[in-house]
Amino acid sequence: MKRDDILKDLGINPAELQEGSIAVHSPIDGALLGKVKADDAASVDAKIAQATKAFQEWRQVPAPRRGELVRLLGEELRAHKEALGALVTLECGKIVQEGLGEVQEMIDICDFAVGLSRQLYGLTIASERPGHRMMETWHPIGPVGIISAFNFPVAVWAWNAALALVCGDSLLWKPSEKTLLSALAAHRLLEAALARFGDAPKGLSSLIVGNRKVGAALLDDPRVPVISATGSTAMGRVVGPRVAARFGRSILELGGNNAIIVTPSADLEMARRAILFGAVGTCGQRCTSTRRIFVHSSVYDRLVPSLKTAYERVRIGNPLDPDTLVGPLIDGRAFEAMEQALQQARDHGARIHGGGRVSVAGAEGGYYVKPAIVEMTDAADNVREETFAPILYVFRYDDFEDALHRNNDVPQGLSSAIFTTDMREAERFVAVNGSDCGIANVNIGTSGAEIGGAFGGEKETGGGRESGSDSWKAYMRRQTSTINYSRALPLAQGIKFDTE
């Protein structure tokens, strides 16, 4: 599909993208995709006011009816999956399969949220007082601010939006300035669903277009009780304290530094495939990308050469070509960061296979790279920083406890995995003194989570949880009520307090 056909399929007239102040370029070849009009302080203020007003109405719509809106959004996404997937590929450089996978993830979370709309359960709690009942109810909380990153330009929004909408909240979405067309398109699909829904309040969802300064307006505004922010740890360091300063709630989904331990009993073919997808897929630009592996000495000389062979065979190229497995990095800055990280490793005596820029015919403006395997020397320290590029640091280990320690010995705590057929090692990895990450997998890799589980990580990953399980609770406020249906007024803890 061509750009204009894709845009039209998604309800965007290409002429709309000629005069905005923010230029969006394709990482495929650097071509200009469009110019989008940015918000200013006044328009952001008006959108927040509108979302506040819409919330007052939306919260009173019964939750299963709110679910109907999300069901319609799921239908729109199904009908436009191919076009939205292709736009994600054009704008963030994912291969076609992964662009489509991203939209499928949006559809999946819509299905989940529709079911959830009839399951926003509270509790009934036994009261210590006779003739009393206690209950806990979940109420809508208010407008939810969503700040999203370039690498999942639409799925992360859907994780938040589908849940927040059934929870009775309105939405304010500040997408990455690098992927504005995908955001515009996804929002148009929500608008189409809203039109079919009929009686939703005006301004229930707004897009806020701009750079981080524009996004920052959401952080300080007490009308926005929840900020869900996905991006780098550097961003979270700003967002977290600012939202906390006004006692707002933040859901932070930040950087990862994910490792896999490959033990002596591992199925090495499975491990090889999982590491390849985790480290090389999406050109190493997933928060859950595999960045470090700890390989037991007894299997090192079988696994690592087979990985190198697989790396040689990986097809790098235009992500629109169905044979391509690795598309471009997002931009020149990402390429420089990769070069710098490789130079640092070289300075520390590491052996590097791959790396460097690759020229792709017809797409010379894109930053294509050879994914790199970096064999660390025995004495090498852990790698503590996330470089958002396909670099896999390989360490050898002899002692399981040491590998586990090194898995955890980084500031981030998002995803982790172990390949083993030894039940003791597997259980130990997911036990209380095992991996300290939000995600700890056995015999599958670090990337490619399903929406049914809660998604997120600890430490500098920010501690937030999104998507499945009971993540919805972060989008609601909890109320505890004690109902007295007796004719007496006993005080809790047996306290006597009266003048009679």
Give contact residues for ligand NAD (rule: CB under 6 A): 147-152, 156, 174, 176-177, 211-212, 215-216, 230-232, 235, 238-239, 253-256, 287, 386, 388, 414, 461
> How many beta carbons lie within 10 A of that of residue 136, not counting itself?
13
Q: Distance between CA 437 and CA 412 in Å, rounded?
A: 8
Across 214-361, the runs of DSSP E, i.e. the strands, are: 226-230, 249-253, 258-262, 290-296, 351-353, 357-358
Q: Nearest approach, Cβ of 438 to ligand NAD (angstroms)?
A: 9
Q: Which is nearer to ligand NAD, 420 or 447 (CB)?
A: 447
Q: Nearest approach, Cβ of 234 to ligand NAD (angstroms)?
A: 6
Q: Which is nearer to ligand NAD, 48 or 254 (CB)?
A: 254
* Marked catalytic residue, from 91, 287, 437, 466: 287
Q: Which is nearer to ligand NAD, 72 or 392 (CB)?
A: 392
**Residue 102 among the catalytic residues:** no
357 token code pair: 């820029």
Q: Which is nearer to ligand NAD, 256 or 317 (CB)?
A: 256
DSSP 304-336: HHHHHHHHHHPPBS-TTSTT-SB--BSSHHHHH
Alpha carbon 98 to chain centroid, angstroms:
14
Q: Which is nearer to ligand NAD, 291 or 296 (CB)?
A: 291
* Marked catalytic residue, from 91, 253, 386, 466: 253
**Residue 16 among the catalytic residues:** no
Q: Nearest approach, Cβ of 200 to ligand NAD (angstroms)?
A: 26
- Do the Cβ atoms of 417 and 260 come closer than 8 Å? yes
| Element (DSSP H or E) covering residue 108 | helix 96-116
| Element (DSSP H or E) covering residue 233 | helix 233-245
Q: Which is nearer to ligand NAD, 250 or 324 (CB)?
A: 250
Q: Nearest approach, Cβ of 318 to ligand NAD (angstroms)?
A: 22
Q: Nearest approach, Cβ of 149 to ligand NAD (angstroms)?
A: 3
454 phi and psi, to 5 degrees?
-70, 135
- Do the Cβ atoms of 204 and 239 come closer than 8 Å? no
227 token code pair: 């900020």
440 token code pair: 């700890």
Residues in Cβ contact with 14 at an 8 Å cutoff, skipping those fewer than 6 apart:
3, 4, 7, 8, 34
Triad 78, 80, 83: Cα angle to 5°: 135
- Amino acid at residue number 75: E
Length of the chain, in residues:
500
Give the residue at shortest CB distance from ligand NAD.
Answer: 231
Q: Nearest approach, Cβ of 455 to ligand NAD (angstroms)?
A: 6
- Do the Cβ atoms of 278 and 258 come closer than 8 Å? yes
- The residues assigned a catalytic role are 253, 287
